[in-house]
Amino acid sequence: MALYKYSPSFVLCLIVVCLIFSSCSVRKQRTLFNSPTDIVTDTIKQVYVVNDQGISDGYYKIKVNDQLAIRNVQNFEFGATTSQTSSTAATNNTNQNAGSGSIQNVLSYPVELDGTVNLPAIGKVQVEGLTRRDAAAKIQDLYKTKLLKDPIIELSVVNLKVTLLGEFSKQGNFFIEKENTTLIDIIGEAGGITKTADPKTLKIIRGDRAHPELIYVNLNDINSLASKKLILQNHDIIVLQPTKSSAASDKLQSISNILQPLLVVVNLGVLIFTLTR
């Protein structure tokens, strides 16, 4: 009878209890880019910042190696009379993607090491350090002076992106297509969070990767939305953890898949032993 003290069902129950008490460590195993300060997620009310680097300028300043998508809203073929080859390529590319709703497929121009962008018909324009709006206005004035009648220049920096990892409906890289894009904008674009997500555990990793600023957000509290820290910056990494219960449940399921064949063997051994006594 001593064998029944440690029956398969008892062993399984013992594993469940252990998982419940170790749910924090189980969840940590499933989460990328863990930090010692992540423990604040259990008590955070709204937004908590570690290694605060101040409020970033919500208006992005153009940098060397940025890719600029530039077009005249009134006329896609601007510059054709002076630079037929370049403008025709831009026109064809723009027309192919006009209905996509995204600027990412529009022909772009790189910002060179000297801080200039080389554009059809007007040549090099100094844009480094300008906001998107200021650069668009400068380029618009140059085209109006040299070539076009009442142009309306639209400028976008097409290489700005953030990365979503964890409990989002869609993970991956998401481009920042407009000024002052917020965390909620990107979560909406990703289709929201999953059913197993813990809204208190969202973390934004920002800035220098060696000494990053960590921004913890409790999505359960509507007052979190007021924080200017939630205006996204280029190369932000946004991580969302699962709930402790879902992490423990997944771990239990994986362990159960391993133990089930073993428990069958144990049960069979107990049955044989009982019948042959």
Helix spans in the chain (H): 8-21, 23-29, 84-96, 132-146, 183-189, 244-276
Domain boundaries for CATH 3.30.1950.10 within the chain: 67-157
Residue 247 has pLDDT above 90, yes or no: no
pLDDT digits (tens, 9 = 90+) for 87-100: 333 333 433 333 33
Domain spanning 67-157: which CATH class is it, in words? alpha beta
Domain boundaries for CATH 3.10.560.10 within the chain: 35-58+160-241
**CA distances (Å), 108 to each of 18, 57, 72, 204, in order?**
55, 24, 13, 29
Please give the angle made by the CA atoms of 99, 102 and 103, to the nearest 5 degrees.
110
Q: Where do the DSSP E strands lie in 160-201?
A: 161-166, 172-175
First to last CA, the chain: 11
pTM across the whole model = 0.69
Q: Which fold has domain 35-58+160-241?
A: Outer membrane lipoprotein wza fold like (3.10.560)
Looking at per-residue pLDDT, the higher value among 8 and 203 belongs to 203
Residue 159 has pLDDT above 90, yes or no: yes
Round to whole Å and give the CA distance between 53 and 47: 14
pLDDT digits (tens, 9 = 90+) for 80-132: 333 333 333 333 343 333 333 344 456 789 999 999 999 998 999 999 999 99
* Residue 111 CB contacts under 8 Å (≥ 6 apart), including other chains: 62, 63, 64, 65, 66, 67, 68, 117, 127, 128
User: Are the C-beta atoms of 27 and 244 separated by less than 8 Å?
Assistant: yes
Nearest of 195, 181, 146, 155 to residue 62 by alpha carbon: 155
